[in-house]
Amino acid sequence: MSARRVSRRQPQRGAVPAVDPRIRGEVGAIALLAFALLSIVALIADQGPVLQWWHAFLVSGLGWGAFVVPFLLAALAAELWFGLMRRSAIIPIAGGALVFVALLAIAQHYQRGEPATGQGAGGVVGATIAKIATGAFGDVGGPIALVAVVLVGIVVASNRTLGDLVRPAWERRTALRPGVSLPGGTAGRFGRGVDEPDVEEMGEPALPLRINMPVQRPKGPAQAPKPQLRLLPPPVTDEAASAPGGAFTPSIAGLPDKNVAVEGVLHAKADRNWTLPPLDILGVGDAGHAGTSSEIRRSAEVIEQTLAHFNIAAKVVEVTPGPVVTRYELKIAPGVLLSRVESLNDNLALALAARTLRIEAPIPGKSVVGIEVPNLAVGLVSLRDVVETAIFRASPSKLTVALGRDVAGAPIVLDLGAMP
């Protein structure tokens, strides 16, 4: 009985194998790209009955919008080719289509024509939408309603408010105003206006964010210059003086003529007290400049807004400024793939105006994602900074070596005696 069941489950011979989804996507991308090129030829030249029919269809249906169709087809082909089409892109595409149709209706309203014969700026689609708008709101209210539809489509397509879209241009205009100077690398980076008060001064509630700011230690007095060693010429012996031409062959007194095995024991004085030199002879390092607490909070907001633009819910829960980079720890919403966050490396760097950044997903030992952003000024870690730490002083080994500090600024030491 079991043998018969097994035999029935075996696949039938001659069954058509399933096509790889990547192959299907690439075939569709090639077809759309060819269709886009043929649409360009149809719009600018008279070539063949098929392209002539396609030209008449586009112009009569969309009017001036017919020239946008090839670019839309090419963009869709690129999306399929590189595998960028996601379900989350449906809403932005719908917003763009809303803007496109509303613009066709506005163009058709202000340039009357006969859409049935292919005349008119908006074609049949624009004429139909314009007729509905003017019939409902009149000749004056119709364009106002269509402009409102355009603004709604822009907000939906960009997933940002109109204030967010206008703010960068307004701040750039304010920055170029005569007599106004912006602190380099801070105002433009964190989206801060010139006359905008500080968050703490406005009395707004601070973000539930923990910032581990490094403790700035005052530098010690200037070190006295070290004495320079003066090299003395080697003594001249009588043999060198009597040799012709002043030639001299060095010799070591008491050196045997051949190799001799010598047995002995090295003895060290156990009662000698060694005194370590004071740490004051070492220089003090310089901590890196990651910005003020207000600027760090604004950077955290920029990271959260950038991820939200790509439909990734995240919250910055902790910030640790280090000597070279500042690490922002993010709590990602459940169900979000970490690969999606890692793929936004360049987008986050652009939003933060950083040359580059590193995403650590996840941080070892924590259920958070780390984003390491370079500091405005790189700090210098000195030997004294590590030797004076509690972890170095608490080491019981006499062979403890100071290596430096990690990304978070914690000291790194090791025991040479415990190493293999």
Lowest mean pLDDT of 18-22, 56-60, 394-398, name the range.
18-22
CA dihedral 100, 106, 111, 117 (to 10 degrees): 50
Residue 259 has pLDDT above 60, yes or no: yes
What are the tokens at 292?
A: 């003020």
Percentage above 90 pLDDT, the chain = 0
pLDDT recorded at residue 208: 58
**Owner of token pair 């940002």:** 160
Give the DSSP H or E segment for 150. Answer: helix 123-158
CA 408 to chain centre: 19
SS3 101: helix
Cβ proximity of 408 and 361 under 8 Å: no
Lowest mean pLDDT of 130-144, 240-254, 329-343, name the range.
240-254
Between CA 341 and CA 353 the distance in angstroms is: 18
pLDDT recorded at residue 2: 47
pLDDT tens profile 89-141: 667 777 788 888 888 888 877 776 554 444 567 777 778 888 888 888 888 88
Cβ proximity of 377 and 295 under 8 Å: no
Domains, the chain, in order of start with CATH, read: 21-163 (no CATH), 293-374 (3.30.980.40), 383-418 (no CATH)
- Give start and end residues of each alpha helix (H) in 235-372: 238-242, 293-309, 338-342, 345-351
SS3 332: strand
Most confident of 4-18, 44-58, 270-284: 44-58
pTM value is 0.37
Lowest mean pLDDT of 8-17, 22-31, 142-151, 294-303, name the range.
8-17
pLDDT tens profile 217-228: 555 454 444 445
What are the tokens at 364?
A: 């070892």
Residue 19 has pLDDT above 80, yes or no: no
pLDDT recorded at residue 72: 81
CA dihedral 11, 16, 22, 25 (to 10 degrees): -140
pLDDT band at residue 193 using 50, 70 and 90 as cut-offs: very low
pLDDT recorded at residue 383: 81
pLDDT band at residue 243 using 50, 70 and 90 as cut-offs: low
Average pLDDT of the chain?
A: 72
pLDDT band at residue 245 using 50, 70 and 90 as cut-offs: low
User: What does the pLDDT average to over 30-38?
Assistant: 85
User: What does the pLDDT average to over 38-47?
Assistant: 80
Lowest mean pLDDT of 82-91, 165-174, 407-416, name the range.
82-91
Lowest mean pLDDT of 82-86, 131-135, 303-307, 350-354, name the range.
82-86
Residue 218's Cβ-side half-sphere holds a number of Cα atoms within 13 Å equal to 3
Residue 204 has pLDDT above 50, yes or no: no
Best CA proximity match to 338, nearest among 321, 314, 318, 317: 314
pLDDT recorded at residue 182: 42
Residue 25 has pLDDT above 60, yes or no: yes
φ, ψ of residue 89 in degrees (nearest 5)? -85, 0
pLDDT band at residue 298 using 50, 70 and 90 as cut-offs: confident
Residue 190 has pLDDT above 50, yes or no: no
Residue 232 has pLDDT above 60, yes or no: no
- Angle of the 123-158 helix axis to the 48-62 helix axis, nearest 10: 70
Sheet with 358-360, side-by-side order of all strands:
210-211, 314-321, 325-332, 369-374, 358-360
pLDDT band at residue 271 using 50, 70 and 90 as cut-offs: low
pLDDT recorded at residue 215: 54
pLDDT recorded at residue 187: 39
